Amino acid sequence: MKKYKTAVVIPCYKVSSHILKVIEGIGPEVQKIYVVDDCCPENSGELVKNNSRDKRVEIIYHSENRGVGGAVISGYKKALTDEMDVIVKIDGDGQMDTSRIKDLIAPIISGSADYTKGNRFHELSDLESMPKLRLIGNAFLALTTKFSSGYWTIFDPTNGFTAISTEALRKLDLNKINERYFFESDMLFRLNLIKAVVKDVAMPAQYGGEISNLKIINTLWKFPLLNLRNFLKRIFYTYYLRDMSPASIQFFFGNILFAFGVIFGGYHWYRNSHSHIPTPLGTIMLSTITIILGVQFLIGWITQDMNSVPSSPLTRWR
């Protein structure tokens, strides 16, 4: 049986109190550990260099802060150069159970997935330890990410515990992926464009005294806007630029009919209500019928989109 070379990428920014313990918990199934010091003000890279005796560790330094995505991409590029087979990304703040790395890479090694990610929503009992604000925020972001990425069965899109095969990674344009906190969601969007198979792996998060650098309130308005941008890109690329299908027609006319019905009906209702005259039955019928037809077309499109989730892995182990 082939020995798969697995690497771990750990982006480091203000995690000096956790990083050494995180490295210690990484098991022998991993051959390389890339610690990326993202211009950390706590000098995480030097801390690891001076205190870790793990020979698998290699430190990558950034001269300026590039964000979590930028740090991970640097690790990805180094792993590609070192000809790794599977690359795992974990955070350096101790929130992730490193003993679950084997579970995370198993679907990739078996050839059933190109990209895997942790899912903290799988078991209801695991949600009790999750801060309520994070729970609400993640649930909202999960919905918007489903639309933008096209992976309708995926939950917990901002989960940073991920693994990817280098075969899939080589097909991505790493220079186009968002380098800040939108990195994980943007990865899903990019993976759908190359038709990579993505699978969730159930695992609980570990919450302790760590302080997240991610501002939840800012995320709740920034991420939906970025997801909307990716959604529009995906629709254009998938249904109009690369191919045309009945779903392309359904999406186009569904939006036109729905928008016409709402605007037309709303305008006449507003005008007639202020004039204290009843709205003609014909106007009501026209508005209602176009809205219903628009909704039916959009339901047809979303059904087709859900059935088009990639299912044939790109990864082919030799």
The model carries a pTM of 0.88
Topology of domain 6-238, per CATH? Spore Coat Polysaccharide Biosynthesis Protein SpsA; Chain A (3.90.550)
Q: How confident is the model at residue 219 (pLDDT cuts 50, 70, 90)?
A: low
The residue-averaged pLDDT of 178-185 equals 90
Scan for tokens 């698998």, then name that residue: 56
Rounded to whole angstroms, how far apart are CA atoms 314 and 184? 19
Instruction: For residue range 256-274, list pLDDT tens digits in order.
Output: 999 999 999 999 888 888 8
pLDDT surpassing 50 at residue 162: yes
> CB–CB of 70/179 below 8 Å?
yes
Distance of CA 186 to the CA centre of its chain: 6
The residue-averaged pLDDT of 129-143 equals 74
Kindly tell me the burial class for residue 166, based on how many C-beta atoms sit within 10 Å of its own C-beta (0-12, 13-18, 19 or more). Answer: buried
pLDDT surpassing 80 at residue 124: no
Instruction: For residue range 28-46, list pLDDT tens digits in order.
Output: 999 999 999 999 999 999 9
The residue-averaged pLDDT of 206-226 equals 64
Kindly tell me the burial class for residue 133, based on how many C-beta atoms sit within 10 Å of its own C-beta (0-12, 13-18, 19 or more). Answer: exposed
